[in-house]
Amino acid sequence: MNEALRTRLDGLAGRLEELNGLLASENAARDLDQFRKISREHSELTSLMELYGRYRQAERDAAAAKEMAADASMQSFAEEELKTARAAMQGLEASLQQQMLPKDANDERNVFIEIRAGTGGDESALFAGDLFRMYVRYAERQRWAVELISESQSELGGYKEVVARFAGQGVYSKMKFESGGHRVQRVPETEAQGRIHTSACTVAVLPEAEAVDDVQLNPAELRIDTFRASGAGGQHVNKTESAIRVTHLPTGIVVECQDSRSQHKNREKALGVLAARIKDRREREIAAKTASTRKSLIGSGDRSERIRTYNFPQGRVTDHRINLTLYKIERILDGEMDELIAGLVAADQAERLAQLAEETP
């Protein structure tokens, strides 16, 4: 282990002692928000220090084995012990580096997922519907809650646009790599000649903003319009102006919500989506200014960037960012996304570890 990494770990050991003192204080729970932050940091550092303790024990075992090797009668046993200790040190050092990677502050947040049909007309809208169902099924497997915010259905089914809120544990950490362009290659049901068509949709995954901490919405900068929600007809047509359109004047961002019959609930949902979009725009601007000269392995997150292709004739799904191809398209579209997401998370960690190694003297 290099000295820079050891110094950082020793410093974190000192920080853990400091946190122990703070949590033991009789005033520890006076400020509940602060208490939660300290408890979370304490939990993370405790886990890290347990790993560091095991690494140092492996170091001591290696040193003892070297001493033992001086005795000719113990040399064979000592060499085996030294080999075992060094292998343990190598594995534990890799785990320590991985745990010390900077955490994404948004990882534990809920998200808004926005899916929009692109090139391909009705076929693109049908594909948008397929993607939405895929994410909903995956959410069900993760025991997340899904709340529809707004939808614009196409005539043949599917969506021209759909926005939904996904809530649960670690939603953003798993869904953040879905932002970008998704392409489908298949024979549409309306295609008489059996020709394969290519269509596309864009997906945006926005971490939910905590309005107090992240985005302050100034009422003077908002234009809020009400209108009558559109419906399929019949007795359930909304006859009151319960639908809401919110325009953020400084940025021109517009959000509509008409899912609920309550104007108040639609307003609340629309403001939530607006805050998330503003937060997303700000973070992208900051990222663009501070971007590394090396492009991230998982892509820039540009909405127009093609990240994945779903090829029905060949039964495959290919993620172009990590060159991963899986021949189980139906299962993936049914929400079995674990292998895809695990591959993206692993690639992201490997890229950040390589960058950390370059930055560490």
The SS3 assignment for 104 reads coil
Whole-number Cα distances in Å, 214 to 26, 217, 256, 307: 31, 10, 21, 29
Q: Find, among 196, 234, 141, the residue nearest to 313 by Cα.
A: 196
What DSSP character marks residue 221? G
Model confidence at 355: pLDDT above 80: no
Answer whether CATH 3.50.50.60 is correct for domain 108-208+323-361.
no
The pair of three-digit structure tokens given for residue 27, joined into one six-digit string? 């005033």
pTM above 0.95, yes or no: no
pLDDT at 286: 65
In the predicted structure, residue 198 carries a pLDDT above the cut 80: yes
Q: Using the predicted structure, report yes or no on whether residue 297 has a pLDDT greater than 70.
A: no
Least confident of 40-49, 219-228, 232-241, 332-341: 232-241
Q: For 121-137, write each residue's pLDDT tens digit.
A: 888 999 999 999 999 99
Q: Choose between 326 and 100: higher pLDDT.
A: 326
How many of the other CB atoms lie within 10 Å of CB of 195? 8
**Quick one: pLDDT at residue 37?**
84
What is the CATH architecture of 210-291?
2-Layer Sandwich (3.30)
Decide if pLDDT at 298 tops 70: no
**Residue 238 clears pLDDT 60, i.e. is over it:** no
Collapse the DSSP code of 113 into the 3-class scheme (helix H, G, I; strand E, B; otherwise coil) and give the result: strand
Stretch 114-119: mean pLDDT: 89
Please give the average per-residue pLDDT across 93-109, as a whole number.
Answer: 81
CB atoms within 10 A of CB 13: 14
Q: Rounded to the nearest 10 degrees, how much is the dihedral formed by the CA atoms of 22, 27, 31, 33?
A: 30
3-7, 20-24, 189-193, 298-302: which has the highest mean pLDDT?
20-24
* Cα angle 144, 150, 152; round to 5: 125
Q: What is the mean pLDDT of the chain?
A: 84
**Could you give the CA distance from residue 185 to residue 111 in angstroms, rounded to a whole number?**
28
Q: Which residue type does 232 have?
A: A
Q: What does the domain layout of the chain look like in residue ranges?
A: 3-99, 108-208+323-361, 210-291
Per-residue pLDDT, 108 = 85
Question: How open is the CA angle 76-94-106, to the nearest 5 degrees?
Answer: 165
pLDDT band at 86 (very low <50, low <70, confident <90, very high): very high
Say whether domain 3-99 belongs to CATH 1.10.10: no
Which pair of structure tokens corresponds to residue 245?
A: 């359109």
- How do 306-311 and 180-186 pair as beta strands? parallel
Which one, of 259, 284, 261, 287, lies nearest residue 273 by Cα? 259
In whole angstroms, give the CA distance from residue 53 to residue 343.
30
Q: What is the pLDDT of residues 163-196, one digit of tens each?
A: 999 999 889 999 999 999 999 999 887 676 778 8
- Is residue 340 pLDDT above 70, yes or no? yes
